[in-house]
Amino acid sequence: MADEVLTTIEDGVIIITLNRPKAKNAANKALAEGIAAAIDELESNDDLRVGILTGAGGTFCSGMDLKAFVTGETPNIPGRGFAGLTEYTPNKPLIGAVEGYALAGGLELAISCDMLIAADDAKFGIPEVKRGLAAAAGGLVKLPRQIAPRIAMELALTGDFISAQRAAELGLINHVVPSGTALEAAKELAARIAANGPLAVAKSKQVIAEQGDWSSDEMFKKQNDIVMPVFSSADAIEGATAFAEKRAPNWTGK
């Protein structure tokens, strides 16, 4: 894995750190490849339950590396999108821990996470129009599905930034925490998720991720097609047994 992305594993959680602090963690090809490889590790390693995406040096990601862009390099991975993530949805939960700036592609990377923790001095925005570009890595299509479309329109057309507090008001992020503590707060959230049945977590995530495209007539059938195997799983029996025996469950993910 490239030095542009560092990974550590703690108690079933993989922490994926963007590691180009001198460039405000701007995404180049190597960083995109590193994120894609880290997500592959999250997906393939049965011991991993949750991923956390964060940035080194007090910032999350300032977007695309424009110096690399003008030389013809783009931080896109086929089938994965910008920074190896924006067009891909992992099966396991991914939490973004945002300090400093999540701008342009950095915001699009953040909104590709399932949940977001942000420092109280963090800033969010899609300022591509200020550089004659467009927020084509999700800012124009995913952001209006996560906040009110009129607000997304304003952000896309002005390129203005918003604060973490405003992002929380809009429902874009889960929790605002003191500066410097976003990663620790994300670890706490990840631990609460990792303590649960991994099969139940994965299927619950899948339903929530896909249900927006379902009609009212079909939503329960589609939901049940996904979640009913959970109820007949070994983990379901283990969860009920552990509750009765007043002990922690021993999950197998089966």
Q: Residues 120-161: pLDDT tens digits?
A: 999 999 999 998 999 999 999 999 999 999 999 999 999 999
Contact predicate 120/177, CB 8 Å:
yes
Mean pLDDT (the chain) is 95
Contact predicate 254/202, CB 8 Å:
no
Model confidence at 2: pLDDT above 60: no
5-194 is a CATH 3.40.50.150 domain: no
Radius of gyration of the chain (CA): 19
Is 184 annotated in the active site? no
Q: Which residues does residue 17 pair with via DSSP β-bridges, in sequence order? A: 6, 54
Residue type, 246: K
What global pTM score does this model have?
A: 0.94
Residue bearing the bigger pLDDT, 97 or 70 = 97
Cα 242 to Cα 247: distance, rounded to the nearest angstrom:
5
Q: Is the dihedral of CA 197, 42, 20, 68 positive or negative?
A: negative
Set 4, 87, 108, 188: catalytic member? 108
Summarize the confidence of residues 228-246 as an average pLDDT: 94
**What is the DSSP code (8-state) at residue 103?**
E
Cα 88 to Cα 113: distance, rounded to the nearest angstrom:
10
pLDDT of residue 48: 96
User: What's the number of CA atoms in the CB half-sphere (13 Å) around residue 235?
Assistant: 18
Candidate from 68-77, 208-217, 243-252 with smallest mean pLDDT: 68-77
Candidate from 2-6, 75-79, 205-209 with smallest mean pLDDT: 2-6
**2: nearest Cα among 69, 66, 84:** 84
Set 128, 184, 218, 245: catalytic member? 128
Summarize the confidence of residues 169-194 as an average pLDDT: 98
Q: Which residues does residue 96 pair with via DSSP β-bridges, in sequence order? A: 53, 116
pLDDT of residue 66: 82
Is 238 annotated in the active site? no
pLDDT of residue 168: 97
Each residue of 46-70: pLDDT tens digit?
999 999 999 999 999 999 998 887 8
CA 89 from chain centre, in angstroms, equals 9
